């Protein structure tokens, strides 16, 4: 059994915030893969399903970001899970928008949700780091993560979430490379043709058009005689 946790803040006020991309990822997985309806339990919203032959529990803590570990700890104790069974989907300032990376263990880098998880379950859990970009200065971070994704963000965001859902079975089977490839297939724009197209008047002539017409070397008198033959 695996526990996948999306980090975010509860309520419609925060639903489209950059900080809530973890919630968004789980919502896509649940909707696309026939998971059970969400229900309130363990200080969060929870649902269950099967991915790649593995039973997976999805959890969206409703304790607010800085107390996420409380909810996760309750679920782990109830199902007798270890930190190695847990994968956390969270926003990542140090990755460009639409970029995704996997990580196991390590520090929390100041992320309040991860800090809470460290306090309650230790650091030996897995992470799916979802790039949202950085506002440019640390003083702007709080306002940035608690603001909604812009209209310009919607195209890459939808593709990224679709890729996560497409690769969910591979992730459940611990195939991180295949999971990341599924996301990359959605978010990487195919290289466009860079060579300039020919204009209509620059079109190369066909072989027939390229054949030169032989010059008429007959004299005027010979041309006149030939006309009346």
48 phi-psi bin (left φ>0, alpha ψ -120 to 50, beta other): beta
> d(Cα 59, Cα 6) in Å, to the nearest integer?
6
Residue 14: per-residue pLDDT:
97
Decide which of 218 and 50 is more confident: 50
**Among this protein's residues, is 90 annotated catalytic?**
no
In this prediction, what percent of the chain has a pLDDT beyond 90? 81
Q: What architecture does CATH give domain 2-187?
A: 3-Layer(aba) Sandwich (3.40)
| Mean pLDDT of the 73-80 span | 98
Query: Tokens 């008429």 identify what position?
Result: 216
């Amino acid at each position: 059994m695996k526990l996948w946790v999306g980090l975010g803040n509860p309520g419609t006020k925060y639903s489209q915030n950059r900080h809530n991309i973890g919630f968004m990822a789980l919502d896509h997985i649940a909707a696309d893969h026939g998971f059970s309806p969400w229900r309130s339990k363990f200080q969060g919203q929870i649902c269950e399903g099967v991915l790649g032959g593995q039973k997976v529990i999805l959890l969206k803590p409703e304790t607010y970001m800085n107390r996420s570990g409380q909810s996760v700890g309750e679920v782990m104790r109830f199902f007798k899970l270890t930190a190695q069974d847990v994968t956390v989907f969270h926003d990542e300032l140090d990755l460009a928008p639409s970029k995704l990376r996997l990580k196991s263990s390590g520090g929390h880098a100041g992320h309040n949700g991860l800090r809470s998880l460290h306090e309650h379950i230790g650091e030996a859990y897995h992470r799916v780091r979802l790039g949202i970009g950085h506002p440019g200065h640390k003083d702007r971070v709080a306002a940035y993560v608690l603001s909604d994704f812009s209209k310009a963000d919607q195209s890459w965001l939808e593709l990224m979430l679709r890729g996560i859902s497409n690769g969910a079975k591979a992730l459940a089977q611990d195939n991180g490379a295949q999971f990341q490839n599924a996301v990359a297939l959605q978010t990487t724009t195919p290289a466009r043709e860079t060579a300039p197209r020919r204009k209509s008047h620059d079109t190369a002539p066909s072989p027939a058009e390229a054949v030169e017409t032989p010059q008429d070397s007959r004299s005027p008198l010979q041309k006149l005689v030939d006309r009346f033959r």
